[in-house]
Structure 1
Amino acid sequence: MIFNRERETNKFLFKRIPLILVMIFTFASLSGCGSKKDEEKKDTVFVFAGNPISKGEVYIYAQTIIEDYEATYGKDVWNMQVTVSDGTEMNMEEATRRDIIDAIVRVKVLSSMAKNKGIELDDNEKAAEINKADIFFNRLTDEQIDRMELTESLVQNVFCENLLANKVYTAIVKEAGIEMSDEDARVTTFYDMFFSYYTENINGEIFEINDEKKSEQLEKADQAYATLTNPSSEDGVDIEGLSTFYKLKNSGYYTLTPKEIKAEYGEKIYDILYELEDGSYSVVVETEYGYHIFYMKYKTDQEATAERKAKLVAEAEERYFASKLPQWIADLDKGYSYTGSVNFDVYKQISFR
């Protein structure tokens, strides 16, 4: 399907509200991706840069989103109140309708750049997108096709446009040269063996234990530290197994950024953690919540750091693109606005309920 959630940030079509949907379709004349005459529709939702955007084209975007949201949140999703990027509150349907149109405008901007950047689809790329489009089209009912005036050619164009736009977007953000060091993206994985000062009764109420119990907790922590640092077996000791032995419910592995560690544990623990080497233990450390023994698994978790680095770079690239987009829109169609350009009578023929 077009709206593949597993695509990378610069490849996907929508981000879920309230993050605001972002689409990267384009509408270009693509050989082998449908006939231009089939794209001329009687019902136009809006016109951008002289190009009429048909009800059928908008429906291709909308239908996939409707199915996706309802599968995730249920059919009542359209009554949910959401806060969009500018802080405005509105229901999900209103926000989604606007985001779809905004996304298509973004697509037109990308398509306008393809020729100048020398970007096009090769025959294999076109064939792959046409195959996906045919699968999508064959899932539609006759009623949907007739009511929205859809053609197989139109759907093929939208899929091909998606891939072309992705290639344009990738070229644009690559030109920006956005980079990030592993240090800036660092993620740390450690174990917190926690002997708490607090207990919970059968009613779920939390109580602080008395001084005698706190002393017992310290004794257990000292025993655990001795076992961890002087194991009786050459194979060492499993810190998770030892936590189970002491019935420590709030112990576990954490994968956090340095900033998150400092916010969660404070400066003191932050300094202790980053003085550890991989595979080493801290001494018993007291906080206001109890006693801790920290085990450093990965000061820099390579896998998690790489994932975070890719995510942060993609976000930075999107911010760069978004900063340029308003001017590019104005250059193509200075009179365009959502409220002034959209024919809402036609748009409302696409039902979200």
Structure 2
Amino acid sequence: MQGYIRPDGSVGIRNSVQVIFMVECASHVAKNIAESFQRPDVQFFGFSGCYPSDYGYRLVKNLATHSNVGAVLIVSLGCENFDRDGLAREVKVSGRPCHLLVIQENGGTLETIKRGKALVADMLEEIARVPRREIDFSDLIIGTICGGSDGTSGITGNPAVGRAFDYLLTQGARCMFEESGELIGCEDHMMARAASETAREQIDLAMRKAKRYYSIMGLGSFSNGNAVGGLTTQEEKSLGAYTKSGDSPINGVILPTEVPPRPGLYLMDVVPDGEPRFGYPNINDTSEIIELIATGCHVILFTTGRGSVVGSVISPVIKICNNPQTYRNLSDDMDVNAGRIISEGASLDDVAQDILNCIRAVAGQELSCSERLGHSEFVLTYKAFDYEKSGCRIA
């Protein structure tokens, strides 16, 4: 595996140009600029809301300065509240090429697209000279989520990811799992694995918050699709999701955009702080993926039983299919067939090794299935977190 060396010493496994819109009104221009290049290392994403938020700014800033990003073009309408100048300054301070275009000041749609294409072409030439070095698992941050879970998820792909995590942690990687709302009922299991009393207290607090939030909002993480797929209860789904975390000690709890400070396993608390007012903490799988990437993940391990086809901007998504029938139906979208535990008698260790081999290949520049198919979905939403308390969340 070889990584791209960033000015701060971090390494990335991709070297992309990101075209970032500051409000939905600028998304058409950003989309046209990025898609004109027809190559996987030029992508676009953005924050659609006009009203500013600390969370939204942190999210975009972390994505713009992610170690998989080589350069940035910021596209602003001109009258939105997002701090575009502050973002441009922070990207430039990180050592990346960065340019800012304001549609209201650059002749409108066509002229801004023209200028944007020229700037992206120049930045592609510039970042082609970024130095590289050999990397190993200790250089990587790896996250996991599950989506479209079914009755096979808790006995195939999810525990296989847990086995892979256990190995990655012995190699000095930083690993994270999330979906605290889907882990309700697993509190005692997680607290028993806490690496310190501080970590234990923070797991307890995060899960108490999740239960309160879901109770007040009248929400649940059990869908009709889960039931059709053979899951019978919320508890069964939660335990299946929990197995993705493996058996290693849990070092602490982090919030979205807080990059793990040292090797170890972390629970990411995705439930907003304060009085519940945002609806579902994550409205779909893509918003969860984006939060993991904004928290530093180079690669996302996405397990699915019913099937999913989404990918993401910035970091590769590796699809691990839990169900052999789903794998047959969606083989073009799946990177690892964990369903062979059922259909072929493979062991959890066999599939964990498949996952590790896939991470090595993707970190070595091989495209994941979602990348080859051109998937680059993103969802950035409003939330609120008390980052002033964040120092006590990490053991």
Same fold flag (TM > 0.5): no
When normalised by structure 2's length, the TM-score is 0.24
Greater relative CO, 1 or 2 (CA 8 Å, sep 6+)? 1
Larger fraction in helix: 1
Structure exhibiting the larger radius of gyration computed from Cα positions = 1
When normalised by structure 1's length, the TM-score is 0.26
